[in-house]
Amino acid sequence: MTLQACLLLAFLLFSIGVYGMLTRRNAIGILISMELMLNAANINFIAFAHYKAADATAGAVFAIFAIAATACEMAIALAIAIIVYRRHGFLDVDQLTELRDPDV
Amino acid sequence: MDSLPLKDILFYITAIIMVAGALLTVTVRNVLHSAIALIGTFFASAVLYFLLHAEFVGVAQVMVYIGGVVVFIVLAILLTVRLGERILEAGKQRKIIAALFAAAISVFAVLLLKETNSIVQTETEDFASLAAIGERLLSPSSTGFLLPFEAISLLLLISLIGAITIAYIPKEDKHMEGK
């Protein structure tokens, strides 16, 4: 169990999250994949705080702030998902093209 | 150092559970199943935080992510998925491109990891105990985090109000509900 092993694990989780984000068509599925990526970032924070830090406690505090920010972001994002579902009756990101420039 | 092998074994078990859970999360067709697989990944990362001696972060992970975010996701899925609805899936072409992109990121990351070989590793043990974190969060000195702590509480309040405002249906729009 070294810094490299933890970082490798975090990178793997991040790329799995990227894969999920690109392949899901349900908006909530995309949010779930994003959670995986944010979790990978948190693992990086804690791994560096544990193995290599002049001020390790600050690293842990940073991870806690990241967790709180994620909770805020999920609350807003899921509220938007629910209102989009109410308006359109579906959450398929391929069909939600209202904000897309029609010329592109 | 004699406790090292046990820690290593625990780390590899956690890592395998985490990667398997993450793979399940992104590959199962049903979004509800994917949210349940996410619980496994989050729980395994909480165990990893404990192994890295960040006890408070591990407990916060279980409470906020598993107890809060995942429950919220499951509720949102139950509110937005109709029974018998066709499950939308990306085409094969998009899946292949996404897999290649993710693999490219992993390869790039492994190449970057070589740079970290020269880092001198020290294992800090008691850096995230409740007392250490509590003192740092609420200390008004220049190394403390009192101002960010208050700012994040304001952010939580704002997002709470924002989420209610966004999801709230005004009375005259009630017909939208049945749509």
B64, A74 contact by CB (below 8 A): no
Please state, as a whole number, how many other Cβ atoms lie within 10 Å of the Cβ of residue A77: 21
**Distance between B52 CA and the closest CA of chain A, angstroms:** 6
B156 in the same domain as B79: no
What are B77's strand-pairing partners?
none
Q: Find the CB nearest A12 among B79, B106, B123.
A: B106
pLDDT band, residue B126 (cuts 50/70/90): confident
Residue numbers of chain A with a pLDDT score lower than 50 = none
Asked if B32 and B65 sit in the same domain, the reply is: yes
Q: Are residues B79 and B151 in the same domain?
A: no
Give residue B61's domain range. Answer: 1-112
pLDDT in tens, B109-125: 888 888 877 777 777 77
Judging contacts by C-beta atoms under 8 Å, the chain A residues touching residue B142 are none
Contacts of B110 in chain A (CB under 8 A): 8, 11
Section B67-71 average pLDDT? 92
User: Number of folded domains in chain B?
Assistant: 2
Q: What is the pTM of this model?
A: 0.87
In this predicted complex, what is the ipTM?
0.90
End-of-domain residue from the set B56, B82, B112: B112
Q: How far is B1 from chain A (nearest CA, A)?
A: 12
Which tokens in the block code for residue B93?
A: 């072409």
CATH number of domain containing B46 = 1.20.120.1200
Mean pLDDT of B20-29: 93
Q: Does some domain include residue A22?
A: yes
| Helices B31-51/B70-80 angle, 10° precision | 180
Inter-chain touch A75–B163, beta carbons under 8 Å: yes
Task: Residue A48: give its domain's CATH number.
Answer: 1.10.287.3510
- Indicate whether B168 belongs to any domain: yes
Of A9, A17, A53, the CB nearest to B124: A53
Q: What is the pLDDT of residues A26-55, one digit of tens each?
A: 899 999 999 999 999 999 999 988 888 778
The reported pLDDT for the residue numbered B1 is: 47
Same domain for B100 and B152, yes or no, is no
Assign A90 to helix, strand or coil.
Answer: coil
Domain that holds residue A28: 3-88
B41 and B7 share one domain: yes
